[in-house]
Structure 1
Amino acid sequence: MSPLSAPSRVVTVGAGLLDEALRAQAVETTPVSWRPPLPGTAEALAAVLADPRRQAANELAVSRLTSARPHLVGVRRASEVLAAGTFLHAGPPITWERASGPMRGALIGAMLLEGLAGDEHEAGRRLAAGEIALRPCHEHAAVGPMAGVVSPSMWLFEVRDDEHGGTAYCSLNEGLGKVLRYGAYGPEVLERLRWMDAVLGPALAATLERTGPIDLRSLTAQALQMGDELHNRNRAATSLLLRELAPAVVEAAPGAAAEVLRFINGNDHFFLNAAMAAAKVSTDAARDVPGSSMVVAMARNGTDFGVQLSGLGGRWFTGPAGVPDGLYLGSYGPDDANPDIGDSTITETSGLGGFAMAAAPAIVRFVGGEVSDAIRATRSMYEITLAEHPAYQIPGLGFRGTPVGIDVALVARTGLLPVVNTGIAGRVAGTGQVGAGLVKPPVEAFTTALIALAEQAI
């Protein structure tokens, strides 16, 4: 048969309109999913892809991440970890002058909590004068949700990696609504934090001395199969942790057991902070592999969104934080929203959160969209990651491992950005949470990281 007389078959690339038009004319088509590389990345992408170290470096980095075995080993006061006169915060480095409303609110609240100021005006003046050093949580083996502010009297989850030996910290979760991490600092916020300092922290510290290390990798794996994605849905994981803790809480702190267990039971996000520390210690295990293009941190401070790469040490690459698109509480709307904020994107960096939304169909009731959108989001992340997590599996995808190990080169080559789901903080200090949704990271953070990596390519 002559090629000219054979039935025609058409390969379509790009916009779906062409494919639809041909199919309407009964022409058989083979659609191909293809996207152009991110603008301005062609030379850097070619250099990174040609680096002979890259494949082995990425295999090593992602194997370290996925083989990490995080265990909750204790609860410690931040004063044991922090240098005197220092507050930690979420995201890349930032000054008081550039800090957003919720970040300023949380810092003011911490000043009042620590007795370093008599009122919010004095707190603001002292912070503006630089009397307190502000440092990113990530630079101190820690992570903080939303504003992420940690001051000396706060208590931290301590998580240790039994495989690689690292340790990471995260503050205890206050609950939802008007809380310090969303920039609220009213009397009820400070009263709760003082109770956490006097009762919750010591009770949990004594509890973990009785239980011994708790396997967070195992709890996370179970929670994924019970409908959580471990960023904005932690109901199953919190329940599993509560089961582990409850008997020892009663034994270790009988006088406070009822209020401690009631507090945890009333806060579906209590596990989130432990999950963040587990994700941090896992991604930290993958740091400092020369030639690796794998992302080991994504974090936001309410002004900037930053990323770090395994092959580039502690350097931050940033772009402007975007405003999330999602569902709002009560009468709040997009005009009330602050740009994206918090270290909780460490969950996505480790293969959870937005990358695992297919495991949590109910998440769409919190962040918006349809169940099909959640499944589509997870499937798309396999295109920009290096592996599937061997322990974190998704029942609805045939127990396929979650996509893990974001490769900045694949981000540039496909044009796909990481999927992030997030809470939304009010832009005015003191407002608290106003909603939850999805947010797009800035392209600049990934392109500048790629270009810097290309400069070090062999």
Structure 2
Amino acid sequence: MNALFTQQLTVLNAGLQSFADNITRAGGDAVALSWQPPAGGDREGGRVLASLLNHPQIEAANEQAMAQYLAAQPMLVDVMRAGEAIPALDKHKRILHAGPPIAWNDMCGPVQGAILGAILYEQWADTLEQAQALIEQGEVSFEPCHHYDAVAPMAGIISRSMPLWVVENTENSQRVFSNFNEGLGKVLRFGANGDGVIEHLQWMGTELAEAMKAMLAESGPIELKPIMAQALHMGDEVHNRNIAATGLLMKQLLPALLSTALPVEQIQRAIRFITANDHFFLNLSMAACKSMLKAAEGVPGSTMVTVMARNGVNFGIRLSGTGDTWFQAPANPVDGLFFPGYGVDDAAADLGDSAITETAGVGGFAMASSPAIVKFVGGTPADATQNSRSMQRVTIGSNPAFTLPALNFAPTAAGIDARKVLDSSVLPIINTGIAHKQAGVGQIGAGITTAPMSCFVDALSALARQISR
């Protein structure tokens, strides 16, 4: 013992960094471990976690869900009117919105503005006042896009006359849907609903949709995973940055589009719109990710997260093993960069279905491939790389289809395991746009946010009850 205290001490410190700092100042060496109590210190979460760790049924279920996710092959196969693709939209005045379920009176400004715009677009009303009256009379119903295997970004809305991308998983013939990306500026997905917005939607639903459908008839189905994989090697993370992916899509689009019998002027307008919209591929990226994750749904006992989505008020998740049940909590704030003239007080809470990209292992999970994204969302290239590394702590495995050059072509972390989120107290990272809280103002910034811990605690508690029956 006396000899021990005459030697240079090296201390392993688990807990507060300040303890290690004090040892260093006193002349010792300290190695600080990044450790937090499980479930962020939530007692119920810790108890549930203990009952589910190393559980044979869960391990087998997660292996199955992960294998089904990895095997999925999403292909762009068609363009359809929403009411045709989702017949429930033709039967009633029903509008689909991004995020988990929410009542009209609880919705944020951009979602309400987008819904009012969709009512005008559908010609169910002639004015915003009439549209509001329809809602108050109970004539219009609302459901999440995810309830119909669809996704939409930001205050994304799908109504019966809108065109949808149709993406099919060739492994099991399951189909998912996404709306078209409108571009930037005054657009419906930020709650804008003026005459120009409606006219643009009408052009997309007729002329652009016709061009895209004719293009696919010429080209045949388009594989989406290879486009995403190559884009990751070209500086995209296929959520907030889709410049490379849109360009790669254009390489396949243009020859087929030019081979159609459509009028030259119509083709030119379509090309001008797509080439001016760096986010054109985003909605296809989301649909591809939804397709891969849908393949993993419904595996009894699986703790794999298959949906993360936000409605501007709440954040919601679903697990493979708990089916269609949502687990919600207030959305966490977004830490990011604001456009000049805007700040935190102007922002809506986190918003949109686009977190399906992170759920599938890209977006924020693949930030190491997109160092330029930090100019948009904040931080440094080193932060982007660290974000990708940290997500390895909360996933079942990785996706060899998507590799990151900055990490020596390591595959992206994929298959969020709700147990690992609780065990590590590391929350899934999402890079996201920031919408103004008032309808129609538009995007006012971008940044980084995380999923709320309580969603994962509630989801695992529900799964534990199922398993114990």
Coarse TM-score class (shorter-chain normalised): over 0.9
* Structure 1 equivalent of residue 416 of structure 2: 406
Cα-to-partner distance string for 1:128-177 (whole Å, 9 max, x where unaligned): 22212211110101111111210111111111111232211000000012
Q: 1:358 to 1:449 in 2, by over 3 A?
A: same
1:251 aligns with 2:259: yes
CA contact (8 A) 1:48 1:453 kept: no
Aligned runs of 1:238-317 on 2, under 5 Å? 238-252=246-260, 253-255=262-264, 256-317=266-327
Cα-to-partner distance string for 1:237-264 (whole Å, 9 max, x where unaligned): 0000011101111122342111111111
Give SS of 2:189's match. Answer: helix
Return 307-316 or 194-203, whichever deviates more: 194-203
Q: 1:6 to 1:309 in 2, by over 3 A?
A: same
Of 360, 368, 375, which aligns to 1:358?
A: 368
Quote the offset at 1:220 in angstroms. Answer: 0.4
Of 428, 452, 455, which aligns to 2:462?
A: 452
- Residues in 1 aligned to 2:338 and 2:28: alpha-carbon distance in whole angstroms: 45
- Residues in 2 aligned to 1:3 and 1:103: alpha-carbon distance in whole angstroms: 69
1:126 aligns with 2:130: no
CA contact (8 A) 1:362 1:371 kept: yes
Give SS of 1:158's match. Answer: strand
Gapped regions of structure 1 (runs ≥ 5): none
- Residues in 2 aligned to 1:120 and 1:396: alpha-carbon distance in whole angstroms: 49
Return 400-409 or 77-86, whichever deviates more: 77-86
Quote the offset at 1:50 in angstroms. Answer: 4.9
* Structure 1 equivalent of residue 77 of structure 2: 73
* Structure 2 equivalent of residue 60 of structure 1: 64
- Residues in 2 aligned to 1:6 and 1:63: alpha-carbon distance in whole angstroms: 52
Q: 1:3 to 1:212 in 2, by over 3 A?
A: farther
1:425 aligns with 2:429: no
Give SS of 1:93's match. Answer: coil
- Residues in 1 aligned to 2:2 and 2:301: alpha-carbon distance in whole angstroms: 51
- Residues in 2 aligned to 1:68 and 1:2: alpha-carbon distance in whole angstroms: 63
Aligned runs of 1:433-452 on 2, under 5 Å? 433-452=443-462
Aligned runs of 1:99-178 on 2, under 5 Å? 99-178=107-186
CA contact (8 A) 1:178 1:433 kept: no
1:219 aligns with 2:223: no
- Residues in 2 aligned to 1:129 and 1:299: alpha-carbon distance in whole angstroms: 28
One-letter amino acid matched to 1:46? A
Cα-to-partner distance string for 1:423-442 (whole Å, 9 max, x where unaligned): 11111122222211112322
CA contact (8 A) 1:51 1:291 kept: no
Quote the offset at 1:2 in angstroms. Answer: 8.1
One-letter amino acid matched to 1:35? Q
- Residues in 1 aligned to 2:298 and 2:309: alpha-carbon distance in whole angstroms: 18
CA contact (8 A) 2:8 2:28 kept: no
One-letter amino acid matched to 2:343? G
Give SS of 2:440's match. Answer: coil
- Residues in 2 aligned to 1:396 and 1:19: alpha-carbon distance in whole angstroms: 31
Quote the offset at 1:330 in angstroms. Answer: 3.1
Quote the offset at 1:26 in angstroms. Answer: 4.0
Quote the offset at 1:125 in angstroms. Answer: 1.5
- Residues in 2 aligned to 1:10 and 1:443: alpha-carbon distance in whole angstroms: 31
One-letter amino acid matched to 1:68? A
Cα-to-partner distance string for 1:187-221 (whole Å, 9 max, x where unaligned): 11111111101211110001001101111000000
Q: 1:190 to 1:330 in 2, by over 3 A?
A: farther
Identity %: 47
- Residues in 2 aligned to 1:343 and 1:362: alpha-carbon distance in whole angstroms: 23
Give SS of 1:457's match. Answer: helix
- Residues in 2 aligned to 1:313 and 1:116: alpha-carbon distance in whole angstroms: 34
Quote the offset at 1:32 in angstroms. Answer: 2.5
- Residues in 1 aligned to 2:3 and 2:124: alpha-carbon distance in whole angstroms: 83
* Structure 2 equivalent of residue 195 of structure 1: 203
CA contact (8 A) 1:48 1:54 kept: yes
Return 42-51 or 402-411, whichever deviates more: 42-51
Cα-to-partner distance string for 1:80-133 (whole Å, 9 max, x where unaligned): 023222211111111111111011000000000011111111111212222122
Q: 1:139 to 1:17 in 2, by over 3 A?
A: same
Gapped regions of structure 2 (runs ≥ 5): none
Return 10-19 or 180-189, whichever deviates more: 10-19
CA contact (8 A) 1:44 1:454 kept: yes
- Residues in 1 aligned to 2:21 and 2:368: alpha-carbon distance in whole angstroms: 28
- Residues in 1 aligned to 2:9 and 2:432: alpha-carbon distance in whole angstroms: 47
TM-score between both structures, scaled by the size of structure 2: 0.95
